Amino acid sequence: MSVREATARRAQRIIAALEGSEWIPRLLVRLFVGYFFFETGWGKAQNLDAMTERFVGWGIPLPSVSVLVSVYTELVGGALLMVGLGTRLVSVPLLINMLVAILTVNIKNVTGLDEFVELDTPLYALFFLWLLFSGPGWVSLDHLLWKRWRHHRLEQSTAASRPS
Amino acid letter, residue 149: W
pLDDT digits (tens, 9 = 90+) for 49-96: 999 999 999 999 999 999 999 999 999 999 999 999 999 999 999 999
19 pLDDT above the threshold of 90: no
Domain ranges of the chain: 24-158
Amino acid letter, residue 136: P
From the centroid of its chain, how far is CA 138?
A: 14
User: Cβ distance 38 to 78 under 8 Å?
Assistant: yes
- Tell me the whole-structure pTM to 2 decimals: 0.84
Amino acid letter, residue 93: P
Residues in CB range of 67: below 8 A, 6 or more apart: 44, 48, 51, 52, 55
Average per-residue pLDDT in the chain? Answer: 91
Around 96, how many Cα atoms within 13 Å sit in the side-chain half-sphere?
Answer: 11
In the chain, % of residues over pLDDT 90: 73
